[in-house]
A and B are shown apart, each in its own frame.
Chain A
Amino acid sequence: MFHKSVFINCPFDEKYIELLRPLLFTVLYLDMVPRIALERLDAGEARFSKIVELIGACKYGIHDLSRAKAEKRDEYYRMNMPFELGLDIGAKLFGQVQLSGKITLILEEERYRHQATISDLSNADIAVHGNEPEEVVKAVRDWLSHAANLRADGPSAIWGAFIEFMAHNYDALKQRGYSDKDIERLPIPELIENMSIWTAARRP
């Protein structure tokens, strides 16, 4: 499972869900396993322990630093994403033998922006999504296809499949009595399960 698992380090806010949905879908479409702190809704579980467990269980790591920057005066810098990126790289450098094969992608909103804050990462794989959901699909697909040596479908085909999944999921949830608001706020574990079932059913 280690060789198929992708640790996803990203913000967990209402706005980011627009990018998180296509990110999760692309990983599942490529028959890989997304691992994210929100995959279990257990309030009693220590977040740090969960993050460390996920990092140790995943060969691949996707770290979105696009929301790390403070947007307003006196707003604090969001340190969780850079911190977890550091943990992931540390696991590769100092962890058990298996972890030395870890591969990392950094997502950013704008090209070169990370160099202003984490210039040590100049040799890392970095992709830019410009806050566009379709660009997230392309960035993740292109990187994972190469890193995991997959013969992946093209970005446009995966984006089209995501659009179809969203329609299918909408209909299925409506039939079960969900409102439009309920569907938009579908808990991440349910979203991942629905995406897993849909993508698995269409895999040759």
Chain B
Amino acid sequence: MSKSKHVVPNSKGGWSVRSAGASRAARTFDSQSEAVAYARDAARANHSELYIHRRDGTISDRRSYGRDPFPPKG
């Protein structure tokens, strides 16, 4: 969980990418697909998990690029 990446919609209509433990978003993007692509590459590089959140923080998708009990989707 320590290096997990989180894609979250922000209140300005864009999408933020956050790293676990960071006090602010690392990057923001106009579209969800751009944010997911950036976060996916970072999760792959770190062998960590990627979570895509809804506006209220709930999880809409989870992908694992690490060695945890959850296999990656797709």
Contact = CB atoms under 8 A, between A and B. Distances in A.
Contact of A21 (B8, B20, B25, B57): B57
8 contacts: A22-B57, A132-B11, A154-B23, A160-B6, A166-B57, A167-B53, A171-B70, A175-B69
A170 B22 CA distance: 20
Interface in B1-55: 1, 4, 6, 8, 10-11, 18, 20-25, 49, 51, 53, 55
A168 interface: yes
Contacts of A110: none
Contacts of A171: 1, 62, 70
A164 interface: yes
Contacts of B25: 156, 160
Contact of B8 (A18, A163, A168): A163
A7 interface: no
Using C-beta atoms within 8 Å of the partner chain, give the interface range for chain B.
20 to 34
Given A163-B51, A167-B4, 8 more contacts: A22-B56, A132-B55, A134-B11, A156-B24, A160-B23, A164-B1, A164-B4, A167-B59
Interface of B: 1, 4, 6, 8, 10-11, 18, 20-25, 49, 51, 53, 55-59, 62, 69-70
Identify whether the interface residues of A are mostly helix, strand, loop, or mixed.
helix
Interface residues of A, number: 28
Interface in A128-161: 130, 132-135, 153-154, 156-157, 160
B20 A164 contact: yes
B1 to A, nearest CB: 6
A162 interface: yes
Contacts of A17: 56
A21 B58 CA distance: 10
A184 interface: yes
A186 to B, nearest CB: 11
Contacts of A166: 53, 57-59
In the A-B complex, the 7 residue pairs with the closest CB atoms: A18-B56, A157-B23, A166-B57, A167-B51, A170-B59, A133-B56, A156-B24
Contacts of B18: 160, 163
B23 A156 contact: yes
Given A18-B56, A21-B56, A133-B56, A163 B6 contact: yes
Contacts of B57: 21-22, 133, 162-163, 166
Contacts of B62: 167, 170-171
